[in-house]
Amino acid sequence: MVDVGDLPQPLPSELPSGRYVRLVVRDTGCGIPEEALPRIFDPFFTTKAEGKGTGLGLMIVSDAVRKSHGHLQVHSVVGEGTTFEVHWPAMSDQAVAAGAEWTARDVPGGKETVLLVEDDELLRKLLAGDLARHGYSVLEAASGSEALTLVEDSSVTFHAVVTDLVMPEMTGHDLVVFVHRLRPGTKVLYMSGRTDDVVFRQLQANQPHLLLEKPFRLEELARRVRGLLDG
């Protein structure tokens, strides 16, 4: 926790004076082209090849920071890397405890195990972390084939599958066919924002309770998982 005046980097003018918690994430990668920077938080915007990313990870990060009254800055130089800085207003211990208690009442959690299948690593880690904060144990899989290995292992126990619908190699729908064949009755929730997908349209029209449309707020996933497990 630092005072505004003590920060080595100048703060945005819209941040009021006070005490802040600062998180800095920096890489030494290829950097973000200047023309792409204004769009990196837009839903479904991605510079990756088709099938390699959903373009939702940074959008969800931005939404989470905004909802927690934080401020997100991005600094990037092509060929040198990118730095993300988040500043959150510091809270008293009493306020933190009160906020945690309110969140627990607002979004019920659980102790079950969820198999989470998502090929976008940043998004998967973010969703897994949020489910874990709600008490769930989370098994992560970066693809349908990786998830299928867990499904075929009789020593692995899980109570529900949350899977992206459109993924390379094996779609979420194909994965669920195998899940229900090997573990009949397993509860499933699909995630997708690909409105041009045939299965997406079928779910949207006939089984909307099995579809969580991207982009969505983090707490919505916890609500839907709880509803799924409760039947």
What is the pLDDT, as a whole number, of residue 53? 63
2: left (phi over 0), alpha (psi -120 to 50) or beta: beta
Check whether 79 has a pLDDT greater than 60.
Answer: yes
Q: Looking at this protein, which amino acid is placed at residue 165?
A: L
Give the pLDDT band of residue 217 (cuts 50, 70, 90).
confident
What is the pLDDT, as a whole number, of residue 95? 57
Check whether 3 has a pLDDT greater than 50.
Answer: no
What is the pLDDT, as a whole number, of residue 11? 60
Helix, strand, or coil (residue 170) = coil
Check whether 8 has a pLDDT greater than 60.
Answer: no
Give the pLDDT band of residue 102 (cuts 50, 70, 90).
very low
What is the pLDDT, as a whole number, of residue 104? 46
Is pTM beyond 0.85? Reply is no
**Which residues of the chain are in CATH 3.30.565.10 domains?**
2-89
| Most confident listed range (48-62, 148-162, 201-215) | 148-162
Q: What is the CATH number of domain 2-89?
A: 3.30.565.10
Query: Which structure tokens are listed for 54?
Result: 């959903």
107-230 falls under which CATH superfamily? Answer: Response regulator (3.40.50.2300)
Q: How far apart are CA 64 and CA 69, in angstroms?
A: 9
Q: Who has greater pLDDT, 15 or 22?
A: 22
Query: Which of 40-54, 156-170, 193-207 is predicted with the least confidence, judged by mean pLDDT?
Result: 40-54
**Which residues of the chain are in CATH 3.40.50.2300 domains?**
107-230
The phi and psi torsions of 186 (rounded to 5 degrees) equal -65, 135
Check whether 17 has a pLDDT greater than 80.
Answer: no
H or E element in which residue 141 lies: strand 137-141
